[in-house]
């Protein structure tokens, strides 16, 4: 019942990830054009023809493109998202109404789980972000769990409850506040990013991880994947060093990987013991991406 997970792209130029559970493959977000998405899938030995469904986090344009959403209609791939996303999809993608008519649009129903394979299910959970209704996802079987939260401005106890006892956590490490304040960005954008509806800083993400470890036990988390790293207001090295320091405070030896914009990550395996080789070994950090 092992699952696999890879980040195809992470950053303001486009986001997408691939989940494989019991051999069934699902995409998280469609922030790449079809040709580029095909290229990234091929890099990890996958193909669009293998996709069973798509989960959409929110309506910001770096998380979906009209052409990739249209492709779901022509390929009869179901799209799972919130009803609040529909107006943007209808406006930007002429084929979305056809997708609705064919019942390929599957709206989230609260946090009701979505069956994605025989043994795995996905629970959407809401996070705070200025993209309207925005979601992360918890994937779980009877023995294992992992979670993905790419865009969020803050966290609370409710979010923490959805991230405890995971083997892999993919979470935003967007910026360093000092670097952000000294950047060339306009004041309104700095204010937006720092706000509770903006993006998670390194320090905020580390506080969250510390609470996850306290609630879960230090040996539960094996892989920490850093998402949405800013090129101007952060770096992969800085984000990873901050994350490793936070892990070390709790005695955790989880691997840390910084996802990037241009190159897919390795496959991370969930649900196999370390002795079985189920967890990807530490990988060299890559260049940081835009916020």
Dihedral Cα 163, 168, 171, 173, nearest 10 deg:
130
Q: What are phi and psi of 119, to 5 degrees?
A: -115, -5
User: Domain for residue 240, yes or no?
Assistant: yes
User: Domain for residue 87, yes or no?
Assistant: yes
pLDDT reported for residue 273? 58
Q: Across all residues in the chain, what is the average pLDDT?
A: 91
Beta carbons within 8 Å of 40's beta carbon, 6+ residues apart = 8, 9, 16, 32, 264
* Residues paired with residue 24 on neighbouring β-strands, in sequence order: 21
pLDDT at 285 over 60: no
pLDDT digits (tens, 9 = 90+) for 132-186: 899 999 999 999 999 999 999 999 999 999 999 999 999 999 999 999 999 999 9
User: Domain for residue 104, yes or no?
Assistant: yes
d(CA 134, CA 173): 17
> In the chain, how long is the greatest CA-to-CA distance?
52
User: Domain for residue 178, yes or no?
Assistant: yes
Cα dist from 199 to 82, 133, 145, 203, 217, whole Å: 20, 15, 24, 12, 27
pLDDT band at 290 (very low <50, low <70, confident <90, very high): very low
Hey, CA dihedral for 267, 287, 263, 133, is it positive or negative?
positive
User: Domain for residue 199, yes or no?
Assistant: yes
**Collapsed DSSP state (helix, strand, coil) of residue 260:** coil
Give the rounded percent of residues in the chain with a pLDDT score beyond 90: 88
Mean pLDDT lowest among 24-38, 224-238, 259-273: 259-273
pLDDT band at 131 (very low <50, low <70, confident <90, very high): confident
User: Domain for residue 163, yes or no?
Assistant: yes
Give the full edge-to-edge strand order of the sheet including 121-127. 114-115, 121-127, 134-140, 145-149, 168-172, 223-227, 255-258
Where in the sequence is the domain holding 150, given as residue range(s)?
3-276
- Contact criterion met (CB below 8 Å) for 85 and 56: yes
For the segment 189-205, the average pLDDT, to the nearest whole number, is 95
Question: Which residue is it, tokens 């629970």?
Answer: 123
d(CA 241, CA 225): 13
- The neighbour count for residue 45, using CB atoms within 10 Å, is 9
Report the number of distinct structural domains present in the chain. 1
pLDDT band at 272 (very low <50, low <70, confident <90, very high): confident
User: Domain for residue 286, yes or no?
Assistant: no
Q: What are phi and psi of 73, to 5 degrees?
A: -65, -50
The secondary structure of 273-284, three-state, reads: CHHHCCCCCCCC
- Contact criterion met (CB below 8 Å) for 112 and 93: no
pLDDT digits (tens, 9 = 90+) for 80-104: 999 999 999 999 999 999 999 999 9
Domain of 167, CATH number, reads 3.60.15.10
* Residues paired with residue 17 on neighbouring β-strands, in sequence order: 7, 28
Beta carbons within 8 Å of 282's beta carbon, 6+ residues apart = 255, 256, 257
pLDDT reported for residue 278? 42
Q: Where is 250: in which H helix or E strand?
A: none
Beta carbons within 8 Å of 76's beta carbon, 6+ residues apart = 102, 104
pLDDT digits (tens, 9 = 90+) for 214-228: 999 778 999 999 999
pLDDT reported for residue 283? 35
For the segment 262-271, the average pLDDT, to the nearest whole number, is 95
pLDDT reported for residue 39? 97
User: Domain for residue 288, yes or no?
Assistant: no
Which residue did the predictor score with more confidence, 283 or 59? 59
pLDDT at 281 over 50: no
d(CA 104, CA 162): 27
């Amino acid at each position: 019942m092992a699952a696999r997970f890879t980040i195809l792209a992470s950053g303001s130029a486009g986001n997408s990830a691939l989940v494989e559970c019991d051999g069934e493959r699902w995409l998280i977000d469609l922030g790449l054009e079809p040709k580029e998405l095909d290229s990234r899938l091929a890099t990890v030995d996958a193909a669009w023809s293998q996709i069973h469904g798509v989960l959409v986090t929110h309506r910001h344009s770096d998380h979906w493109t009209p052409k990739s959403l249209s492709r779901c209609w022509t390929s009869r791939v179901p799209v799972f998202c919130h009803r609040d996303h529909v107006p943007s999809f209808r406006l930007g993608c002429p084929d979305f109404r056809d997708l609705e008519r064919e019942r390929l649009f599957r709206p989230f129903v609260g946090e009701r789980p979505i069956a994605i394979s025989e043994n795995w299910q996905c629970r959407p959970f809401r996070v705070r972000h200025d993209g309207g209704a925005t979601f992360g996802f918890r994937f779980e079987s009877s023995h294992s769990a992992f979670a993905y939260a790419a865009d969020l401005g803050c966290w609370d106890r409710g979010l923490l409850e959805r991230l405890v006892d995971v083997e892999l956590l993919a979470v935003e490490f967007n910026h360093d506040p000092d670097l952000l304040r000294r950047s060339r960005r306009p004041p309104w954008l700095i204010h937006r990013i720092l706000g509770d509806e903006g993006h998670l800083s390194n320090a905020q993400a580390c506080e969250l991880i510390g609470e996850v470890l306290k609630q879960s036990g230090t040996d539960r988390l094996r892989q920490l994947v850093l998402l949405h790293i800013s090129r101007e207001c952060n770096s992969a090295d800085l984000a990873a060093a901050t994350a490793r320091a936070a892990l070390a405070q709790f005695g955790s030896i989880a691997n840390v990987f910084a996802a990037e914009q241009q190159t897919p990550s390795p496959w991370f395996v969930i649900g196999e013991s370390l002795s079985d080789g189920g967890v990807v070994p530490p990988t060299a950090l890559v260049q940081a991406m835009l916020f």
